């Protein structure tokens, strides 16, 4: 059983995590949900489109202007509290690598710490444990937060992903996080070039075989753009193809910008697999 906030996720079910960026310089939406009103409107919209949870972030992953912990807290904590008030049962994750930010967000109502930078803050798992929260343990190749990979090399990128993420997961459990609330993420694009991210997708079943639930954050990423030779605004098709492959190979949680098409993709994979019945089956019967 995978547990996310109040949500118990049976084996085989998919969880769609909608991205809500409270940043003025997001690579995808260019600050469209930086304002509190716009951010809350997006939450209402993605829930209506089929999101199972929302992921709130206050600092873009790429290099850019320095964002202090106090500013990250200012951007995210009030939003978390407002989402919790508007959607009492909706699981919320806070996208941060900083323990001090996570502590404030969890106190405001967040359920999960989404650590995209591979445990650079050793106190983060303990903060999650103290709050009874979950944690996402991500492979970032050992890079510091908000840095891009440069000529990074691995003897075997998937072996490195498995080793680092499972070590982080076990450390989180040792710190007191409920084992059923720990998720691992191969970290597409983080500490990787495009070939690494493609290989991580192709061999995702090796990560699934560890027994830890797997989250994938694929949405509109550079490896999709480079693979297809398309700009940011044309990456949805490649993202959905990668989503379908990842779902088929056993990923459980999907972090996405485009909720409605991602929901349809996951539902179609589930129906092909036989774990979700079609909503209508009259063809050949009427």
Whether 123 contacts 84, CB under 8 Å: no
Q: Would you state the pLDDT for residue 28?
A: 79
Residue 39 corresponds to which tokens in the numbers above?
Answer: 């951010």
Which SS3 state, helix, strand or coil, does residue 175 take?
helix
Percentage of the chain beyond pLDDT 90 is 95
pLDDT digits (tens, 9 = 90+) for 77-135: 999 999 999 999 999 999 999 999 999 999 999 999 999 999 999 999 999 999 999 99
CA distance 199 to 196: 5
- In this prediction the pTM is 0.96
- Reported as a pLDDT band with limits 50, 70 and 90, residue 27 is confident
CA distance 77 to 241: 34
What residues are annotated to the active site? 221, 255
pLDDT at 269 over 80: yes
Closest CA to 3 of 111, 98, 86, 76: 111
Residue 209 corresponds to which tokens in the numbers above?
Answer: 């075989």
Place of tokens 């964002």: 67
Q: Would you state the pLDDT for residue 1?
A: 83
Q: Which residues contact 65 (CB under 8 A, 6 or more apart)?
A: 25
Q: Which residues contact 234 (CB under 8 A, 6 or more apart)?
A: 225, 228
Q: Would you state the pLDDT for residue 29?
A: 81
DSSP letter assigned to residue 155: S
Using alpha carbons, list the distances in angstroms from residue 3 to 18, 211, 230.
Answer: 17, 14, 37
Show the CA angle centred on residue 152, arms to residues 149 and 157, nearest 5°. Answer: 110
pLDDT at 201 over 90: yes
pLDDT digits (tens, 9 = 90+) for 141-185: 999 999 999 999 999 999 999 999 999 999 999 999 999 999 999
Q: Which residues contact 263 (CB under 8 A, 6 or more apart)?
A: 16, 49, 50, 51
Q: Which residues contact 226 (CB under 8 A, 6 or more apart)?
A: 194
Place of tokens 């990128």: 157
């Amino acid at each position: 059983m995978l547990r996310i906030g109040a949500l118990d996720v049976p084996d085989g079910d998919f969880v769609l995590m909608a991205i809500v960026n409270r940043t003025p310089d997001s690579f995808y939406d260019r600050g469209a949900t930086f304002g509190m009103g716009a951010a809350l409107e997006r939450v209402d919209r993605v829930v209506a489109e089929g999101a199972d949870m929302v992921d709130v972030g206050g600092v873009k992953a790429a290099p850019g202007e320095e964002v202090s912990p106090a500013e990250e807290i200012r951007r995210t904590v009030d939003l978390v509290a407002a989402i919790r008030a508007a959607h009492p049962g909706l699981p919320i994750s806070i996208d941060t690598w900083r323990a001090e930010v996570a502590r404030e967000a969890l106190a405001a109502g967040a359920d999960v710490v989404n650590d995209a930078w591979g445990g650079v803050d050793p106190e983060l798992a303990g903060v999650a444990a103290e709050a009874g929260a979950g944690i996402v343990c991500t492979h970032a190749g050992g890079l510091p937060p908000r840095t891009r990979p440069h000529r990074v090399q691995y003897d075997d990128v998937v072996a490195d992903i498995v080793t680092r993420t499972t070590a982080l997961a076990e450390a989180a459990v040792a710190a007191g996080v409920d084992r059923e609330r720990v998720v691992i993420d191969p970290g597409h694009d983080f500490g990787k070039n495009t070939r690494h991210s493609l290989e991580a997708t192709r061999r995702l079943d090796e990560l699934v075989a560890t027994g830890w639930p797997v989250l994938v954050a694929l949405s509109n990423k550079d490896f999709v753009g480079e693979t297809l030779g398309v700009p940011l605004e044309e990456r949805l098709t490649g993202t959905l193809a990668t989503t379908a492959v990842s779902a088929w190979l056993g990923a459980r949680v999907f972090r996405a910008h485009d909720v409605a098409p991602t929901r349809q993709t996951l539902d179609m994979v589930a129906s092909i697999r036989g774990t979700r019945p079609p909503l209508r089956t009259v063809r050949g019967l009427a």
